[in-house]
Amino acid sequence: MSGEKTVFIQDLVEGQSATRIPFLVRSCLRQVTSKGQPYLKLSLVDRTGQIEGVAWENPDQLKLSLLDGSLAAVTFRVGSYNNSLQLTVSSAKSLDWADYDLGDFVTASRRSREEMERELREIIKGLQDPHYRSLVDAALAHPKTRDFWTIPAAKAFHHAYQRGLLEHTLSVAQLAVLVARHYGQVLNGDLLVAGAILHDVGKCWEFTPGPVTDYSTSGRLLGHLHMGAMFLGEVAAGLSDFPEDKLLLLRHLLVSHHGVPEFGSCPVPQILEGIALHQLDDLDGKLNGVGAFIQRDLRAQNKSSGWTVLNRLLNNYFLASPGVPLWGEGPTAADEGLVVPEPASYAQTGPPVDSGPVSAPAAFPRPEPPSYAQPGPPVDSGPVSAPASFPRPASPSYAQTGPFADFRPTPVREYPWEGAWSEPDPLDQDFSTPASPEALADQVKATPAVPAREPKPEPGPKANSPGPGKGSLF
């Protein structure tokens, strides 16, 4: 590589000038002012951030060197517009990607693919249902999902960086494991965890490949929810006797996980696992997206108050939490030379214990809370030897017994407000036997008479009263 990037966006200050600095061109639009003057509106990025720019001189000629998704050497001066830094570009020249390190121009997850893939594979091994486990394995091994491990999760808002889809999927799957364990009496944990792993698989075809993320034609026309559900049908067809009812439930999770039609879901979640998956996906996306927005805004504005500008997507201002590093800031564990323990499997409960490097013990104690695949109270049968994969319970799973096999509603008579009213409710009276004429007559006599109203006198004509059309409303 003959090229080297020495100036990054995070280092720019107002008033600075620079010559032939390479940037990735996210977008370049030709626009016209109200006076008819053409200019270019630019969005330039590198691995430290994004900055907007304008080009007033020779816009049509510069446009040839500033194509979307290209690499260009830019000469500019740093100014300010609407309280944000902005570049005024005077010249640009196209560059060859082969001469530069792509890692200088695209942001990526701070975690490696190998580390995250290993953790995700461990979660897949923990699936008790062989049908869901085989479908997940086949889907992630399919040639159509080869980009699953490297692409961003979104174009702009959350996890919008290389390996972002893998990071987001792993995070939602880990949350699903916790929720499945907590609500194991009423949730099909295997269905929820499988849906969490595959919920965004359609993004493998929703975006175009390349350093700049944009929507593909099929992504715009169909969207990743429906493409993912269609893909699951294709994968299930290649498996022997995959149950149609299980495929139907899993596809429902994919097409409904955005929760509401305004976010792209045609059907809203109509099973408990769908409700849970939507909430977990929304939680992880918003925490990542808003955290990244706070970090970018406070760095760009150089603020000390902690408040951001208005986030137009969410129509809200945000305050950085005091004492908490901004999203993605601070050294990684590798930077500090720390040992990162393996993630605890969802067969283990309890808070994490800082005991140095974690090695696999000879046996794991059985957790007191029931496993999400085992309905009913926990059974204390002693320690369980650690096998190559997590043990399959002998008791029938949720998928075999139905969602509410062990769930009984609270009897009505146990409601706390039972008997709170001292007076009888008229609706509780027995109307099945008609009252006798004598009883009806007694009720009429006991009813107080309503005084008759005196008739109002008819109004007479008023003096100087206007007729129709003379001061009347009609």
pLDDT band at 181 (very low <50, low <70, confident <90, very high): very high
Whether the per-residue pLDDT at 399 is higher than 90: the answer is: no
Domain encompassing residue 136: 113-301
Residues of the chain with pLDDT > 90, as a percent, come to 35
Are residues 81 and 216 both part of a single domain? no
Are residues 179 and 242 both part of a single domain? yes
Phi, psi of 84 (to 5 degrees): -130, 150
Provide CB contacts within 8 A for 171, sequence distance 6+. 284
The DSSP 8-state label assigned to residue 280 in this structure reads H
Do 117 and 167 meet the contact criterion of CB atoms below 8 Å apart?
A: no
What pLDDT, on a 0 to 100 scale, did the predictor assign at position 381?
A: 46
What pLDDT, on a 0 to 100 scale, did the predictor assign at position 296?
A: 73
pLDDT band at 279 (very low <50, low <70, confident <90, very high): very high
- Asked if residue 177 is part of any domain, the answer here is yes
Are residues 255 and 156 both part of a single domain? yes
Domain boundary among 104, 122, 153: 104
What pLDDT, on a 0 to 100 scale, did the predictor assign at position 310?
A: 82
Are residues 81 and 43 both part of a single domain? yes
pLDDT band at 2 (very low <50, low <70, confident <90, very high): low
- Asked if residue 181 is part of any domain, the answer here is yes
Among 47-56, 77-86, 295-304, 454-463, the minimum mean pLDDT is found in 454-463
What pLDDT, on a 0 to 100 scale, did the predictor assign at position 469?
A: 45
What pLDDT, on a 0 to 100 scale, did the predictor assign at position 456?
A: 61
- Asked if residue 2 is part of any domain, the answer here is no
Question: Which helix (H) or strand (E) covers residue 71, if one does?
Answer: strand 71-81
The average pLDDT across 372-379 equals 46
pLDDT band at 318 (very low <50, low <70, confident <90, very high): confident
Whether the per-residue pLDDT at 150 is higher than 70: the answer is: yes
CATH number of the domain within which 229 lies: 1.10.3210
The label of the residue with tokens 């893939």 reads 117
445 versus 424: the higher-pLDDT residue is 445
The average pLDDT across 7-15 equals 89
What pLDDT, on a 0 to 100 scale, did the predictor assign at position 215?
A: 84
Q: Work out the number of other CB atoms within 10 angstroms of the CB of residue 425.
A: 7
- Asked if residue 159 is part of any domain, the answer here is yes
Cα distances from 444 to residues 50, 118, 425, 440, in angstroms, run 84, 83, 21, 6
Which range of 178-192, 299-313, 317-331, 426-440 scores highest in mean pLDDT? It is: 178-192
Domain boundary among 43, 78, 104: 104
List the one residue out of 198, 253, 183, 245 whose CA is nearest residue 399. Answer: 245
What pLDDT, on a 0 to 100 scale, did the predictor assign at position 387?
A: 43
What pLDDT, on a 0 to 100 scale, did the predictor assign at position 138?
A: 95
Q: Which two tokens stand for residue 324?
A: 């908490």
Question: Three-state DSSP class for 135?
Answer: helix
- Asked if residue 349 is part of any domain, the answer here is no
What mean pLDDT value characterizes the chain? 75
Are residues 149 and 63 both part of a single domain? no
The average pLDDT across 78-104 equals 88
Cα distances from 98 to residues 31, 62, 77, in angstroms, run 31, 22, 27
Q: Which amino acid is at 144?
A: K
19 versus 354: the higher-pLDDT residue is 19
- Count: domains in the chain: 2
- Asked if residue 160 is part of any domain, the answer here is yes
